[in-house]
Structure 1
Amino acid sequence: MTEKRILVTGATGYVGGRLVPRLLEAGYRVRCLVRDPSRLEGFSWAKHVEVVTCDMSKPIRAAELMRDISAAYYLIHGQQGGKDDAEYDLQLARNFASAAEQAGVERIIYLGELVDPTARLSPYLRSRHETGSQLRYSHVPVTEFRAGMIVGSGSALFEMVRYLTEREPVLIC
Protein backbone atom coordinates (compact mmCIF):
# COMPACT_ATOMS: atom_id res chain seq x y z
CA MET A 1 0.00 0.00 0.00
CA THR A 2 1.29 3.45 -0.89
CA GLU A 3 1.65 6.11 1.78
CA LYS A 4 -0.09 8.58 -0.51
CA ARG A 5 -3.37 9.64 1.02
CA ILE A 6 -6.17 10.76 -1.28
CA LEU A 7 -9.15 12.88 -0.24
CA VAL A 8 -12.45 12.34 -2.04
CA THR A 9 -15.39 14.71 -1.69
CA GLY A 10 -18.66 13.63 -3.25
CA ALA A 11 -17.91 9.98 -2.47
CA THR A 12 -21.62 9.17 -2.19
CA GLY A 13 -22.30 10.51 -5.68
CA TYR A 14 -22.29 8.63 -8.96
CA VAL A 15 -18.66 9.31 -9.91
CA GLY A 16 -17.22 9.40 -6.39
CA GLY A 17 -18.89 6.13 -5.45
CA ARG A 18 -17.12 4.45 -8.36
CA LEU A 19 -13.80 6.26 -7.91
CA VAL A 20 -13.18 5.28 -4.27
CA PRO A 21 -13.00 1.49 -4.83
CA ARG A 22 -10.60 2.04 -7.76
CA LEU A 23 -8.31 4.13 -5.57
CA LEU A 24 -8.40 1.46 -2.86
CA GLU A 25 -7.61 -1.26 -5.44
CA ALA A 26 -4.63 0.81 -6.58
CA GLY A 27 -3.32 0.80 -3.01
CA TYR A 28 -4.11 4.36 -1.97
CA ARG A 29 -5.22 5.32 1.50
CA VAL A 30 -8.53 7.13 1.02
CA ARG A 31 -10.13 9.75 3.24
CA CYS A 32 -13.73 10.65 2.39
CA LEU A 33 -14.88 14.11 3.39
CA VAL A 34 -18.67 13.95 3.75
CA ARG A 35 -21.48 16.04 5.22
CA ASP A 36 -23.47 13.02 6.37
CA PRO A 37 -21.52 9.81 7.16
CA SER A 38 -24.73 7.76 7.25
CA ARG A 39 -24.95 8.13 3.46
CA LEU A 40 -21.88 5.87 3.14
CA GLU A 41 -23.69 2.90 4.71
CA GLY A 42 -24.67 1.28 1.41
CA PHE A 43 -21.14 1.23 0.00
CA SER A 44 -19.14 -1.98 0.41
CA TRP A 45 -15.88 -0.03 0.52
CA ALA A 46 -16.97 2.30 3.37
CA LYS A 47 -15.24 0.27 6.08
CA HIS A 48 -11.92 0.56 4.19
CA VAL A 49 -11.73 4.36 4.15
CA GLU A 50 -11.17 7.05 6.73
CA VAL A 51 -14.34 9.14 7.04
CA VAL A 52 -14.29 12.77 8.17
CA THR A 53 -17.33 14.99 8.47
CA CYS A 54 -17.32 18.56 7.18
CA ASP A 55 -19.80 20.82 5.45
CA MET A 56 -17.79 22.92 2.98
CA SER A 57 -20.29 25.77 3.38
CA LYS A 58 -19.01 26.04 6.99
CA PRO A 59 -15.40 24.83 6.62
CA ILE A 60 -14.22 25.55 10.15
CA ARG A 61 -12.10 22.36 10.36
CA ALA A 62 -11.59 21.73 6.64
CA ALA A 63 -7.87 22.55 6.50
CA GLU A 64 -7.24 20.35 9.54
CA LEU A 65 -9.12 17.48 7.86
CA MET A 66 -7.01 17.87 4.69
CA ARG A 67 -3.62 17.52 6.39
CA ASP A 68 -1.34 14.83 4.91
CA ILE A 69 -3.33 14.71 1.65
CA SER A 70 -1.46 14.29 -1.63
CA ALA A 71 -4.40 14.80 -3.98
CA ALA A 72 -7.95 15.95 -3.31
CA TYR A 73 -10.81 15.06 -5.65
CA TYR A 74 -13.39 17.83 -5.76
CA LEU A 75 -16.64 16.14 -6.81
CA ILE A 76 -19.03 18.41 -4.91
CA HIS A 77 -22.08 19.84 -6.63
CA GLY A 78 -23.58 22.57 -4.49
CA GLN A 79 -27.16 22.32 -5.63
CA GLN A 80 -29.70 23.16 -2.98
CA GLY A 81 -32.68 23.55 -5.29
CA GLY A 82 -32.79 27.33 -5.05
CA LYS A 83 -32.05 30.41 -7.10
CA ASP A 84 -28.69 30.94 -5.40
CA ASP A 85 -27.27 27.53 -6.36
CA ALA A 86 -24.58 29.03 -8.59
CA GLU A 87 -23.21 31.35 -5.90
CA TYR A 88 -23.41 28.55 -3.33
CA ASP A 89 -21.47 26.25 -5.68
CA LEU A 90 -18.75 28.89 -6.10
CA GLN A 91 -18.56 29.53 -2.35
CA LEU A 92 -18.01 25.82 -1.73
CA ALA A 93 -15.19 25.82 -4.30
CA ARG A 94 -13.55 28.89 -2.74
CA ASN A 95 -13.75 27.34 0.73
CA PHE A 96 -12.33 24.05 -0.52
CA ALA A 97 -9.44 25.69 -2.41
CA SER A 98 -8.55 27.85 0.57
CA ALA A 99 -8.57 24.89 2.96
CA ALA A 100 -6.51 22.79 0.53
CA GLU A 101 -3.93 25.56 0.26
CA GLN A 102 -3.73 26.00 4.05
CA ALA A 103 -3.32 22.23 4.50
CA GLY A 104 -0.57 21.89 1.90
CA VAL A 105 -2.53 19.63 -0.47
CA GLU A 106 -0.32 18.88 -3.48
CA ARG A 107 -3.04 18.74 -6.16
CA ILE A 108 -6.77 19.28 -6.60
CA ILE A 109 -8.54 17.13 -9.19
CA TYR A 110 -11.87 18.48 -10.41
CA LEU A 111 -14.47 16.94 -12.69
CA GLY A 112 -16.16 19.78 -14.54
CA GLU A 113 -18.55 19.98 -17.45
CA LEU A 114 -17.56 19.88 -21.11
CA VAL A 115 -18.85 23.25 -22.30
CA ASP A 116 -18.01 26.08 -24.65
CA PRO A 117 -17.47 28.94 -22.19
CA THR A 118 -18.24 31.50 -24.93
CA ALA A 119 -21.70 30.00 -25.50
CA ARG A 120 -24.84 30.99 -23.66
CA LEU A 121 -24.86 28.56 -20.76
CA SER A 122 -27.53 27.61 -18.27
CA PRO A 123 -26.84 28.87 -14.74
CA TYR A 124 -25.93 25.29 -13.76
CA LEU A 125 -23.37 24.83 -16.57
CA ARG A 126 -21.95 28.33 -16.04
CA SER A 127 -21.42 27.62 -12.34
CA ARG A 128 -19.75 24.26 -13.05
CA HIS A 129 -17.37 26.01 -15.46
CA GLU A 130 -16.68 28.82 -12.98
CA THR A 131 -16.06 26.29 -10.20
CA GLY A 132 -12.91 25.17 -12.01
CA SER A 133 -11.76 28.80 -12.16
CA GLN A 134 -12.43 29.27 -8.44
CA LEU A 135 -10.36 26.21 -7.59
CA ARG A 136 -7.45 27.55 -9.68
CA TYR A 137 -7.32 30.81 -7.67
CA SER A 138 -5.48 28.99 -4.91
CA HIS A 139 -1.79 28.14 -5.20
CA VAL A 140 -2.61 24.44 -5.35
CA PRO A 141 -2.16 22.96 -8.85
CA VAL A 142 -5.52 21.89 -10.34
CA THR A 143 -6.18 19.14 -12.86
CA GLU A 144 -9.59 19.65 -14.41
CA PHE A 145 -11.29 16.89 -16.33
CA ARG A 146 -14.31 17.93 -18.35
CA ALA A 147 -17.02 15.43 -19.11
CA GLY A 148 -20.21 15.59 -21.07
CA MET A 149 -23.31 14.07 -19.58
CA ILE A 150 -22.46 11.02 -17.48
CA VAL A 151 -25.08 8.33 -17.84
CA GLY A 152 -24.84 4.84 -16.39
CA SER A 153 -26.68 2.39 -14.21
CA GLY A 154 -27.50 4.19 -11.00
CA SER A 155 -27.08 7.72 -12.34
CA ALA A 156 -30.04 10.06 -11.91
CA LEU A 157 -30.66 10.44 -15.65
CA PHE A 158 -30.35 6.71 -16.32
CA GLU A 159 -32.79 5.89 -13.54
CA MET A 160 -35.26 8.52 -14.77
CA VAL A 161 -35.16 7.11 -18.31
CA ARG A 162 -35.50 3.57 -16.96
CA TYR A 163 -38.50 4.61 -14.87
CA LEU A 164 -40.20 6.22 -17.87
CA THR A 165 -39.54 3.35 -20.27
CA GLU A 166 -40.83 0.78 -17.81
CA ARG A 167 -44.12 2.66 -17.48
CA GLU A 168 -44.64 4.23 -20.90
CA PRO A 169 -44.45 1.96 -23.96
CA VAL A 170 -44.08 4.99 -26.26
CA LEU A 171 -42.54 8.38 -25.58
CA ILE A 172 -43.08 11.27 -27.98
CA CYS A 173 -40.61 14.11 -27.70
Structure 2
Amino acid sequence: MNNVDSGQAKVLVTGASGFIGRRLVSALVAEGVAVRCLMRHPEKAALPSGVETVTGDLLDRSSLDGAFRGIETAYYLVHAMSGDRAGFERRDREAAQNFV
Protein backbone atom coordinates (compact mmCIF):
# COMPACT_ATOMS: atom_id res chain seq x y z
CA MET A 1 0.00 0.00 0.00
CA ASN A 2 1.46 3.35 -0.94
CA ASN A 3 -1.09 6.14 -0.52
CA VAL A 4 0.30 9.28 1.05
CA ASP A 5 -2.90 11.30 0.55
CA SER A 6 -5.45 9.24 2.49
CA GLY A 7 -6.36 12.24 4.66
CA GLN A 8 -6.18 10.21 7.87
CA ALA A 9 -3.61 11.26 10.48
CA LYS A 10 -0.93 8.63 10.82
CA VAL A 11 2.16 7.67 12.75
CA LEU A 12 5.37 7.52 10.70
CA VAL A 13 7.94 4.88 11.58
CA THR A 14 11.46 4.91 10.15
CA GLY A 15 13.56 1.82 10.76
CA ALA A 16 10.47 -0.41 10.56
CA SER A 17 12.50 -3.35 9.27
CA GLY A 18 14.78 -3.35 12.30
CA PHE A 19 14.39 -5.25 15.56
CA ILE A 20 12.65 -2.46 17.48
CA GLY A 21 10.86 -1.00 14.47
CA ARG A 22 9.11 -4.27 13.58
CA ARG A 23 7.84 -4.64 17.11
CA LEU A 24 6.73 -1.01 17.33
CA VAL A 25 4.79 -1.27 14.06
CA SER A 26 3.07 -4.47 15.24
CA ALA A 27 2.16 -2.89 18.58
CA LEU A 28 0.78 0.26 16.93
CA VAL A 29 -1.30 -1.75 14.47
CA ALA A 30 -2.63 -3.91 17.33
CA GLU A 31 -3.80 -0.69 19.00
CA GLY A 32 -5.62 0.39 15.85
CA VAL A 33 -3.16 3.15 14.94
CA ALA A 34 -2.77 4.08 11.27
CA VAL A 35 0.90 3.47 10.45
CA ARG A 36 3.06 4.66 7.57
CA CYS A 37 6.61 3.31 7.22
CA LEU A 38 9.37 5.10 5.37
CA MET A 39 11.56 2.40 3.86
CA ARG A 40 14.37 2.12 1.34
CA HIS A 41 13.15 -1.32 0.20
CA PRO A 42 9.47 -1.79 1.11
CA GLU A 43 9.23 -4.89 -1.08
CA LYS A 44 11.51 -6.68 1.40
CA ALA A 45 9.46 -5.73 4.46
CA ALA A 46 7.25 -8.19 6.27
CA LEU A 47 4.78 -5.70 7.72
CA PRO A 48 1.32 -6.30 9.18
CA SER A 49 -1.65 -5.93 6.87
CA GLY A 50 -2.84 -2.37 6.40
CA VAL A 51 0.50 -0.70 7.00
CA GLU A 52 1.23 1.98 4.43
CA THR A 53 4.73 2.16 2.99
CA VAL A 54 6.54 5.04 1.36
CA THR A 55 9.79 4.46 -0.49
CA GLY A 56 12.51 6.84 0.61
CA ASP A 57 15.92 7.24 2.18
CA LEU A 58 16.67 9.68 4.98
CA LEU A 59 20.00 10.42 3.30
CA ASP A 60 18.14 11.60 0.17
CA ARG A 61 16.06 14.59 1.20
CA SER A 62 14.25 14.72 -2.16
CA SER A 63 12.88 11.20 -1.57
CA LEU A 64 11.04 12.37 1.55
CA ASP A 65 8.41 14.45 -0.27
CA GLY A 66 5.02 13.39 0.98
CA ALA A 67 6.29 10.97 3.61
CA PHE A 68 5.46 13.36 6.44
CA ARG A 69 2.11 14.58 5.04
CA GLY A 70 -0.68 13.93 7.55
CA ILE A 71 1.72 12.66 10.22
CA GLU A 72 1.06 13.55 13.86
CA THR A 73 3.83 11.48 15.45
CA ALA A 74 7.08 10.18 13.96
CA TYR A 75 9.54 7.61 15.30
CA TYR A 76 13.18 7.80 14.27
CA LEU A 77 14.63 4.29 14.64
CA VAL A 78 17.39 4.28 12.05
CA HIS A 79 21.14 4.59 12.05
CA ALA A 80 23.87 4.18 9.47
CA MET A 81 25.42 0.73 9.71
CA SER A 82 28.40 0.75 7.36
CA GLY A 83 31.65 2.56 6.83
CA ASP A 84 34.29 3.93 9.15
CA ARG A 85 33.50 5.85 12.33
CA ALA A 86 33.72 9.30 10.73
CA GLY A 87 31.49 8.23 7.84
CA PHE A 88 29.02 6.61 10.22
CA GLU A 89 28.75 9.76 12.32
CA ARG A 90 28.35 11.99 9.26
CA ARG A 91 25.62 9.81 7.69
CA ASP A 92 23.82 9.42 11.01
CA ARG A 93 23.83 13.19 11.58
CA GLU A 94 22.68 13.90 8.01
CA ALA A 95 19.81 11.41 8.27
CA ALA A 96 18.68 12.91 11.58
CA GLN A 97 18.81 16.44 10.16
CA ASN A 98 16.73 15.40 7.16
CA PHE A 99 14.21 13.77 9.50
CA VAL A 100 13.54 17.00 11.37
Smaller-chain TM-score range? Answer: 0.7 to 0.9
Structure 2 residue aligned with 1:11: 16
Give every structure 1 segment of 4 or more consecutive aligned residues whose post-TM-superposition deviation is greater than 4 Å. Answer: none
Structure 2 residue aligned with 1:109: none
For the residues of structure 1 that align with 2:9 and 2:30, how far apart are their CA atoms? 13
Deviation per residue, 1:124-172 (Å, 9 max, x gap): xxxxxxxxxxxxxxxxxxxxxxxxxxxxxxxxxxxxxxxxxxxxxxxxx
Which segments of 5 or more consecutive residues in structure 2 lack a partner in the other structure? 1-7
* TM-score, structure 2 as length reference: 0.84
Deviation per residue, 1:108-131 (Å, 9 max, x gap): xxxxxxxxxxxxxxxxxxxxxxxx
Structure 2 residue aligned with 1:64: 66
Structure 2 residue aligned with 1:87: 90
Which segments of 5 or more consecutive residues in structure 1 lack a partner in the other structure? 98-173
* TM-score, structure 1 as length reference: 0.50
TM-superposed CA distance for 1:48, in Å, is: 1.7
Q: Superposition pairs for residues 17-166 of structure 1, below 5 Å?
A: 17-41=22-46, 43=47, 45=48, 47-83=49-85, 84-97=87-100
- Compare relative contact order (CA 8 Å, sep 6+) and give the higher one, 1 or 2: 2
Percent identity (aligned): 38
SS in 2 for 1:15: helix
Q: Name the structure where helix makes up a greater proportion of residues.
A: 1
Give the aligned length. Answer: 92
